[in-house]
Amino acid sequence: MSPRGKTGRKKPEDPKREEGKDRPGRRARPRGEAGPPKEELKIMKVHTLGENETWTHLSLKYYGHTTEPYWRLIYEANKEMVGDDYRRIWGGMEIKIPELPDDLKDK
């Protein structure tokens, strides 16, 4: 639709749409600007994924837990290779298993 809309008059500028004003309490981030640096994880093992293995299988095997914080730790360590869809894994992939951080030990 054109900036003039149905009435033929030009739409007024929306003051809320100024950078950072469209979401109260949040600073608009220009595209390409990275967030805060991630803490570097130490890798304790590289696991070759078997057929039908999942993130929860790996978290149970290496950490003794299947809940989300544990499997998500493994996924996040491999996100660069896997991408944004954590379901896109298959047998034969080399998965990095990070050491368990202190905040997840003995939960």
Contact criterion met (CB below 8 Å) for 79 and 33? no
Secondary element (H or E) of residue 47: strand 43-48
Residue 46, strand partner residues? 96
pLDDT in tens, 10-63: 655 655 555 444 445 545 444 444 333 456 789 999 999 999 999 999 999 999
> What's the pLDDT score for residue 69?
95
Under DSSP, the state recorded for 23 is S
In three-state secondary structure terms, 94 is: strand
* Residue boundaries of the structural domains of the chain: 42-107
pLDDT in tens, 49-106: 999 999 999 999 999 999 999 999 999 999 999 999 999 999 999 999 999 999 998 7
What distance in Å separates the CA atoms of residue 11 and residue 9, rounded to the nearest whole number? 6
- Predicted TM-score (pTM) of the model is 0.62
> What's the pLDDT score for residue 50?
96
Instruction: Indicate the fold that domain 42-107 takes in CATH.
Output: Membrane-bound Lytic Murein Transglycosylase D; Chain A (3.10.350)
Contact criterion met (CB below 8 Å) for 59 and 74? yes
